[in-house]
Amino acid sequence: MLSKLDIYGKDLSILSNLYWRQKTTVSIVEGHSEETLIRRGVQECVLPPDFFNLYSKNILREIEDIKGIGLDGHNVNDLRHADDTLLIAISVETFQNRLDTVVETSESKGLALNL
């Protein structure tokens, strides 16, 4: 996905290596637990919200041409805030089509929706 944003070479390598096989421990009374791989999320990093925004913007581009509501001459078919998304449709069929597209596109990029 980052290469679609013209991020290549050393920049892409640096970003990829930040998250490659990260490990963590848990502080306990006796000291620390054994190291374990982080399978989801990241620890103490400011980049994940930006990555999430890039992914969600890329996913929602798949539905930008589907008719929503007109607002000051613009087609509005979704509203987003942080990790929440509201899909807007003029019919149940249009909504289901939009939702199916978002779910399929998300899954193809390794993301799951919490409906």
Q: How confident is the model at residue 1 (pLDDT cuts 50, 70, 90)?
A: low
Percent of the chain's residues with pLDDT above 90 = 3
Average pLDDT over the chain reads 79
pTM of the model: 0.57
Bridge partners of 69, per DSSP, are: 76
Tell whether the model's pLDDT for residue 44 goes beyond 60.
no
Strand 23-24 to 36-37 pairing: antiparallel
Max avg pLDDT among 18-22, 37-41, 87-91: 87-91
- What integer is the mean pLDDT of 78-97? 86
